[in-house]
Amino acid sequence: MPFIIAIDGPAASGKGTIARALSQHFGFHHLDTGLLYRATGAKGGDPVAAARGLTPADLARPDLRSAEAGQAASRIAAIPEVRAALVAFQHRFAAQDPGAVLDGRDIGTVICPDAEVKLYVVASDEVRAARRAAELGADPAQMLVELRERDQRDSQRATAPLRPADDAVVLDTSDLSIADAISRAITAVDLARQGR
């Protein structure tokens, strides 16, 4: 039976970096589920049709990390039909042996509520804005405004709002180095694997 690690949290909290590191460390498959929504939004046209027709090649587009793609993803993620079209993709991915790491905003609460490990990665708004600004070469003040808008939209949507699962381990990366954050995540997974 595959071992599933669910990692959730707001944008630029470090969840993607941690997810990739856990995937490499444990030899598990990795899916940045935000790319599903970014790719759907970037395709344009009817978002429901775009979600239903999504292919793995769509996830390789070079423009998916842009701020525009992120905002489009957040807007279409609130459409229940889009979410439904992408859930099956995520379920199939999570079922791969020997295990899978999925990161997003509703993995531990909606997509994989039975995941063996659930991490909820957070950081202060200012730290997240500085990280995203450095990544995109953008203005930190503008990024702070955009991140807060997105957080509000993601946490207040009716379908699968952004929130930690009741049994999630909360990992605040505000004052942690990347190495320390990854080390704490590995420890959480090791503990769960020992108890399996």
Angle at 162 (CA atoms; ends 77, 178), nearest 5 degrees: 105
Distance, in Å, from the CA atom of 95 to the CA atom of 101, rounded to the nearest integer, reads 11
Q: Are 115 and 6 in contact (CB under 8 A)?
A: yes
34 known member of a binding site: no
109 known member of a binding site: no
13 known member of a binding site: yes
11 known member of a binding site: yes
12 known member of a binding site: yes
137 known member of a binding site: no
User: C-alpha 6: how far from its chain's center?
Assistant: 9
104 known member of a binding site: no
Q: Are 59 and 65 in contact (CB under 8 A)?
A: no
The binding site for ATP comprises 9-17
The binding site comprises 9-17
